[in-house]
């Protein structure tokens, strides 16, 4: 009996091997015609932190070069004003509320405030299908470097479709800072004085060089410019000199809720970090060009939330995103509007796209540009941007939602926001208050029209109710201990 069983298994194995040779999954496709993907995600990079987006203090010549060759989106949004929810949305093409991650991981819901934030997940569920897994099924070699912040053991990049992981673990900021030793379980220490942004780029370039003949996905998720603000020493002097030439060379602040917002860009340490980022993006682009891969590569550059412009407890934030209101942690424009630059393979042409788009759109856009069939059952909340990029489409999303039912160290209290056309609704749970803005005439969200335009207010409140039901969003609840806690 054992001999018969062994014989049958042996025959089955031979048949399986023969079938695999005759029709191997995806390996029978012409790799030379496949396009690569380089996805660059910067942590906390503000909408106005790049020269091509209007900064006059920070310098970003290499990212500006990328912008001159591609599509620059002026109304690109993240679906959440903090990192982990947006990172989940980018990878899956689904709203964070649909996934169950609505705060940075693990969050910091205080127990002394009027409301208690809803329970949310502390890792990206394995049943969620990422675009890395989708490309891997198409024969792509997949590589991740940098910040992950979507879970720990069994929920790391290598568990979500990435063949290689350099530096991605559960921490949201570099545990050892920006200079080696890094104290990172997924990244060996470098030589003394090595700068983390340089190292992650080195690892990425090595990956490209070893896979130039194969289609690849490079997901470079820089830790910079997240706190701690640690200057890149080789550039610090340059911006200290530049700071002295500024008319406003010290912090100018404005109250925002219980926090304060920085109104001017003047910080030389932060500027040096942005410049180091730009230098390394340039190194990456130069290597693609030197290997003749640029015309075969889709390049996407964006941020995970708005710039860190607003903080509580008399702390001064490192950057400013004016004219946008507030910053990271807030669902005003400063916390959710971010840079987005896309350079299509074989296309070296600049365009500016003003239509509202959101992070979930990147998954289907990648598939569309690569010629892979869209999978709307996966990227349920994302739409391909190719129609906008080709000038064949004028509008994409009817309604966009921002659901952040938690408190944040920027002074934000639990709330939501919704955009429809040029109209923006902001809602705060604590005081049950709605605000209404027309972004076309008031990008700074200064003129609240909730009382003067009741019809538009009612329309957007109805839209908010509909999308909340669709996503099954969770609301904060009243804190029964509030007022009795000393």
pLDDT of residue 485: 58
The neighbouring-strand residues paired with 302 are 41, 340
Q: How far apart are CA 412 and CA 109, in angstroms?
A: 12
Distances (CA, A) of 312 to 67, 158, 317, 398: 34, 36, 9, 34
Residues 6+ apart with CB under 8 A from 150: 84, 87, 88, 91, 101, 105, 123, 124, 160
Is residue 199 pLDDT above 70, yes or no? yes
Q: How far apart are CA 130 and CA 220, in angstroms?
A: 15
Q: How far apart are CA 370 and CA 344, in angstroms?
A: 10
Residue 18 — pLDDT band, cuts 50, 70, 90? very low
Q: How far apart are CA 312 and CA 231, in angstroms?
A: 23
> What phi, psi does 331 have (nearest 5°)?
-90, 10
pLDDT of residue 19: 29
432 token code pair: 């049950």
pLDDT of residue 445: 98
DSSP string, 453-482: -HHHHHHHHHHHHHHHHHHTPPPPEE-TTT
DSSP string, 314-351: TPPPS---TTS-S-TT-SSHHHHEEEEEEE-TT----E
pLDDT of residue 28: 42
Q: pLDDT tens-digit profile of 23-46? A: 344 444 456 679 999 999 999 999
109 token code pair: 């819901």
pLDDT of residue 395: 87
State the architecture of 32-397 in CATH terms. Answer: 3-Layer(aba) Sandwich (3.40)
Is residue 363 pLDDT above 70, yes or no? yes
Q: Are strands 253-256 and 71-77 parallel, antiparallel or unpaired?
A: unpaired
Is residue 7 pLDDT above 50, yes or no? no
pLDDT of residue 482: 92
Q: Mean pLDDT across the stretch 123-138? A: 98
Per cent of the chain over pLDDT 70 is 93
Q: Mean pLDDT across the stretch 76-82? A: 98
C-beta separation of 62 from 299 below 8 A = no
Residue 474 — pLDDT band, cuts 50, 70, 90? very high
419 token code pair: 């955009």
pLDDT of residue 311: 98
Residue 393 — pLDDT band, cuts 50, 70, 90? confident
Is residue 303 pLDDT above 60, yes or no? yes
Closest CA to 471 of 374, 400, 369: 400
Is residue 191 pLDDT above 60, yes or no? yes
**HSE-up of 390 (CA within 13 Å, CB side)?**
9
Distances (CA, A) of 297 to 65, 90, 329, 364: 16, 19, 33, 16
The 8-class DSSP code of residue 53 comes to G
Which helix (DSSP H) or strand (DSSP E) does residue 37 occupy? strand 36-42
The mean of the pLDDT values for the chain is 93
Q: pLDDT tens-digit profile of 226-241? A: 999 999 999 999 999 9
Among the residue ranges 34-38, 192-196, 390-394, the one predicted with the least confidence is 390-394
Q: How far apart are CA 331 and CA 63, in angstroms?
A: 26
Q: How far apart are CA 171 and CA 169, in angstroms?
A: 6
pLDDT of residue 26: 47
Among the residue ranges 88-97, 244-253, 301-310, the one predicted with the least confidence is 244-253
């Amino acid at each position: 009996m054992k001999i018969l069983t062994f014989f049958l298994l042996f025959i089955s194995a031979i048949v399986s091997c023969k079938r695999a040779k005759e029709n191997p999954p995806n390996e029978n496709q012409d790799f030379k015609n496949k396009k690569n993907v380089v996805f660059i995600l910067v942590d906390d990079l503000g909408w106005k932190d790049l020269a091509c987006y209007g900064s006059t203090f920070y310098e970003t010549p290499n990212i500006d070069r990328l912008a001159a060759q591609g599509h620059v989106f002026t109304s690109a949004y993240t679906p959440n004003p903090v990192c982990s929810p947006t990172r989940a949305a980018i990878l899956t093409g689904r709203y964070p509320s649909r996934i169950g991650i609505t705060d940075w991981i693990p969050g910091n819901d205080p127990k002394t405030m009027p409301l208690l934030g809803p329970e949310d997940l502390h890792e990206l569920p394995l049943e969620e299908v990422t675009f890395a897994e989708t490309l891997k099924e198409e024969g792509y070699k997949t590589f991740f470097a940098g910040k992950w912040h979507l879970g720990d053991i069994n929920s790391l990049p290598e568990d979500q479709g990435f063949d290689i992981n350099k530096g991605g673990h559960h921490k949201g900021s570099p545990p050892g800072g920006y200079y080696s030793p890094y104290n990172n379980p997924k990244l060996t220490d470098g030589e003394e004085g090595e700068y983390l942004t340089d190292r992650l780029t080195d690892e990425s370039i090595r990956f490209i060089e070893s896979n130039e003949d194969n289609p690849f996905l490079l997901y470079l998720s820089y830790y910079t410019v997240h706190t701690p603000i640690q200057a890149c020493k080789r550039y610090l002097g340059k911006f200290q000199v530049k700071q002295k030439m500024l008319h406003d060379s010290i912090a100018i602040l404005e109250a925002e809720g219980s926090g304060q917002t920085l109104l001017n860009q003047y910080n030389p340490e932060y500027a040096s970090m942005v410049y180091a980022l730009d230098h390394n993006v340039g190194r990456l682009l130069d290597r693609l060009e030197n290997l003749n891969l640029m015309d075969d590569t889709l390049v996407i550059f964006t941020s995970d939330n708005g710039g860190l412009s607003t903080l509580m407890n008399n702390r001064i934030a490192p950057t400013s995103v004016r004219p946008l209101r507030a910053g990271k942690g807030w669902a005003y424009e400063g916390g959710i509007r971010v840079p987005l630059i896309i350079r299509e393979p074989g296309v070296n042409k600049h365009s500016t796209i003003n239509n509202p788009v959101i992070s979930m759109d990147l998954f289907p856009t990648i598939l569309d540009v690569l010629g892979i069939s869209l999978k709307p059952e996966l990227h349920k909340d994302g739409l391909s941007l190719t129609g906008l990029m080709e000038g064949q489409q004028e509008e994409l999303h009817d309604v966009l939602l921002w659901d952040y039912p938690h408190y944040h160290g920027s002074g934000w209290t639990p709330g939501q926001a919704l955009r429809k056309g040029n109209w923006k609704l902001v809602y705060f749970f604590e005081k049950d208050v709605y605000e209404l803005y027309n972004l076309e005439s008031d990008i700074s969200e200064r003129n609240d029209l909730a009382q003067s335009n009741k019809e538009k207010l009612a329309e957007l409140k109805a839209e908010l109710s509909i999308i909340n039901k669709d996503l099954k969003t969770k609301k904060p609840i009243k804190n029964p201990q509030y007022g009795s806690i000393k």
